[in-house]
Amino acid sequence: MQELTHYVNGQHVKGTSGRFTDVMNPATGEVQAKVPLATKAEMDEIIAKAAEAQVAWGATNPQRRARVMMKFGALINENMDELAELVSREHGKTLPDARGDVQRGLEVVEVCMGAPAMLKGEFMDNGGPGIDLYSMRQALGVVAGITPFNFPAMIPLWKMAPALSCGNAMILKPSERCPSTSLRLAELLTEAGLPDGVLQVVNGDKEVVDAILDNETIQAVGFVGSTPIAQYIYGRAATNGKRAQCFGGAKNHMIIMPDADMDKAADALVGSSFGAAGERCMAISVAVPVGEKTADALIERLIPRIEKLKVGPYTAGDDVDYGPVITEASKTRIEGLISSGVEQGATLVRDGRGMSLQGYENGYFVGPTLFDNVTSDMDIYKEEIFGPVLTQVRAQNYEEALKLTMDNEYGNGTAIFTADGDVARDFASRVNVGMVGINFPIPVPLAYFSFGGWKKSAFGDLNQYGPDAFRFYTKTKTVTARWFSGIKEGGEFNFKAMD
């Protein structure tokens, strides 16, 4: 059985703790590798090495750092298929979905190739009598990224590319369920010219997380995962004087107005709800049609589309729509929530429980599930299911649909499908959600904007990637300067004035 490693000082290093956890194949339920779990002592030593490496890296000019990103981006492109295979093997998502995972991370790397322009400060001459003012952006030092299982390439790249481009060293702790992609990306960064020790990839559990949060050398922490853990990391990081941007759960609504193109809305819902087995923080999990006729028309279109979905292992090829969920515990939880929906009175239109595939009987597969007549007091509405389950909540009018979205405790993403520009404009202006789609189901901003939710979906003032990332991973220093002139009236230079 394969034994994975940490990646420290530019090379693979075996763990010394003697503690391991299993990396599963979610399609078969079999253990495919073991990954070491680091101790606090290991972490403190690795962080110290990163701090040593950061000094020279931080002093490297931004253009040379950008060249490393250029080479890194080229290497990601060259190794796209291999990286996608690593993602699929440990996560279970289909190869096309895995390629998309890598591609969306690569787009952030591409933006970071322009880091010198983002790191420019400001200047004002003669801000006062003979006084010039200027500001500069400087690296924080050593920062950390704690990333989730559901995007093993994209989110580590969202963290590491801006942090490194700004001149920081980074400690990356990937999910112990899907560690191999981050280890391979670290290899590619070394090949691209990143000095040893500037990126350290360390596998671990809560002990490693707490070591990151309590170590005085770490200046900032970025996290993506569940809301309870996001709150925990944000609170502990802030208590210890660190910057933190922590992104949590979601319950994303899509409003479908009566004038919407129902076929396009149905296609959008199926893709956004069931892609990647619903294990996306930007998945649409709640459809909110306005009016009974709209709701009936939408269900009528959803059923045949859902029935055509093909579920299977990524090895079955591009014909598969989505694969298994990540663990057996996830499957059990999702099926338990489906059962609670039935018990609490929702209409189960399509049931995905008990799915078993020939030859993959022990895999963690959940069939596509559709509920109608869901109400806001049901568990399937209140909880983030994080699985292939779409719920429909019927609203009688636009204001009711908008209120439903705004009253939800999460505020990651939302969407509206309509042909009415006034309604769309009103929705975008009033809704208290961080990312909004208009006739667009998964409104993840392009890499030169910034990604971030509101309410219990995000903790911290700055978002991921884009301009906010460069603000998050740097600190601003402002200089006020006055030089006393040695020039007399008439142009004669007075050397004594310079003494």
pLDDT of res. 235 = 97
Residue 303 — left, alpha, or beta (φ > 0 → left; ψ -120 to 50 → alpha)?
alpha
Note whether 224 and 308 are same-domain residues: no
260 and 181 fall within a common domain: no
Domain with residue 395: its CATH number is: 3.40.309.10
CATH number at residue 203: 3.40.605.10
Amino acid, single-letter form, for residue 151: F
**Interior/surface letters 313-327, b for 16+ CB within 10 angstroms, e for the rest:** bbebeeebbbbbbbb
Tokens in use for 364? 């963690």
What's the confidence (pLDDT) of residue 129?
85
Query: Residues 132, 194: one domain?
Result: yes
Question: Would you say residue 497 lies in a domain?
Answer: no
User: Sign of dihedral through CA atoms 76, 81, 82, 86?
Assistant: positive
d(CA 363, CA 385): 19
Looking at residue 378, what DSSP letter applies? Answer: S
Q: 455: which strand partners?
A: 410
As a whole number of angstroms, the distance between CA 81 and CA 88 comes to: 10
Number of domains in the chain: 2
43/177 same-domain check: yes
pLDDT, position 489: 56
398 closest CA partner among 294, 295, 296, 291: 291
Q: Is residue 485 in a domain?
A: no
Same domain, 349 and 299: yes
Residue 277 DSSP label: G
171 in any annotated domain? yes
Specify whether the CB–CB gap between 441 and 415 falls below 8 A: yes
Q: Which domain holds residue 53?
A: 2-248+457-480
Q: Is the dihedral of CA 374, 378, 384, 385 positive or negative?
A: negative
Task: Give, in order, the Cα–Cα distances in Å from 117 to each of 112, 122, 209, 374, 392.
Answer: 10, 12, 33, 49, 46
Q: Are residues 193 and 270 in the same domain?
A: no
Residue 449: inside a domain, yes or no? no
Measured CA distances, 486 to 125, 128, 133 (Å): 19, 18, 21
Alpha-carbon span 174 to 464, nearest angstrom: 17
Q: DSSP for 205-246?
A: SHHHHHHHHH-TTEEEEEEES-HHHHHHHHHHHHHTT-EEEE
Is residue 487 in some structural domain? no
- pLDDT value at residue 318: 80
Shared-domain flag, residues 192 and 296 = no
What strands, in cross-sheet order, belong to the sheet with 2-3?
2-3, 30-36, 20-25
Last residue of a domain, one of 404, 438, 472: 438
Measured between alpha carbons, how far is 397 from 295 in angstroms, rounded to an integer? 12
- The answer to whether residue 326 sits within a structural domain is yes
At residue 309, the pLDDT reads 97
DSSP 3-state of 408: coil
For residues 295 and 185, membership in a common domain is answered with no
Cα dihedral sign, 83-85-87-93: positive
Query: Can you list the pairs that 336-339 forms with residues at least 24 positions away whose Cβ atoms lie under 8 Å?
Result: 337/379, 337/380, 337/383, 337/385, 337/387, 337/389, 338/369, 338/380, 338/389
Tens-digit pLDDT string for the chain (499 aa): 899 999 999 999 999 999 999 999 999 999 999 999 999 999 999 999 999 999 999 999 999 999 999 999 999 999 999 999 999 999 999 999 999 999 999 999 999 999 999 999 899 998 888 899 999 999 999 999 999 999 999 999 999 999 999 999 999 999 999 999 999 999 999 999 999 999 999 999 999 999 999 999 999 999 999 999 999 999 999 999 999 999 999 999 999 999 999 999 999 999 999 999 999 999 999 999 999 999 999 999 999 999 999 999 999 988 899 999 999 999 999 999 999 999 999 999 999 999 999 999 999 999 999 999 999 999 999 999 999 999 999 999 999 999 999 999 999 999 999 999 999 999 999 999 999 999 999 999 999 999 999 999 999 989 999 999 999 999 999 999 998 866 555 555 555 544 4
Are residues 332 and 316 part of one domain?
yes
pLDDT value for 498:
46
Q: Is residue 159 part of a domain?
A: yes
Question: Is the domain of 336 the same as that of 383?
Answer: yes
Claim to verify: residue 24 and residue 118 sit in the same structural domain: yes
The structure's pTM equals 0.94
Is 493 a domain residue?
A: no
Annotation says 281 is catalytic: yes
- 340 and 367: one domain? yes
What secondary structure does DSSP assign to 439-471, as a single string?
S-SS-PPPTTS-B--EETTEESSS-BSHHHHHH
